[in-house]
Amino acid sequence: LGSQALDPVKFKLEASDDLVSWVTVGSSTWEQLDLKIVMTGRAAETPLERGAVMEMDMRLSWAIVLGQGFAILVFNGSAFLLAILGNLGYHRWATSAFEWGFAVQVLLQLARALSHALSLDLVTNEAAHAFFRLGYGLVWAFALFLLYRTPPVFELSF
């Protein structure tokens, strides 16, 4: 097998606009947390064959972008419907639209927590992120419960 043990597998790429302050823009390993890329700088899993090409794609996964974008779109859409329908006098329809917006948020956040939990990498902080998503989903669920069970409280807040 030769000298594979001596091959570099860990690196950090930095950039600067003024050659004084440097910012990390790349790394041998990274994590995607919501819409943010976090450089972890651990040893990368490199191919053992000599001359093998290793592609590193740090673009955000389509699942994260779609999940985050869809969550924002649904919630903003339900808030828009709340305002329009409420202004037109359709208060029950407005409340239902907002409740559905909350319900979709609950499902999206719990699905994201489950997806993080199923792809746990114990070396990274994925477990913490999965628990964060679970807690976030439960907060949305509690807000939905309050919205559904105590409409006068939410009517006062609007």
- The pLDDT tens digits for 117-135 are 776 554 455 666 677 778 8
Closest listed residue to residue 1, CA positions, set 43, 48, 39? 48
Entry pTM: 0.58
Per-residue pLDDT tens for 42-67?
Answer: 888 877 787 788 887 777 766 666 66
Q: Please check whether residue 140 is in contact with residue 98, taking contact to mean a CB–CB distance below 8 angstroms.
A: no
Answer yes or no: are the C-beta atoms of 12 and 24 closer than 8 Å: yes
Residue 133, burial from CB neighbour count under 10 angstroms (0-12, 13-18, 19+):
buried
The whole-number average pLDDT for the span 5-18 is: 84
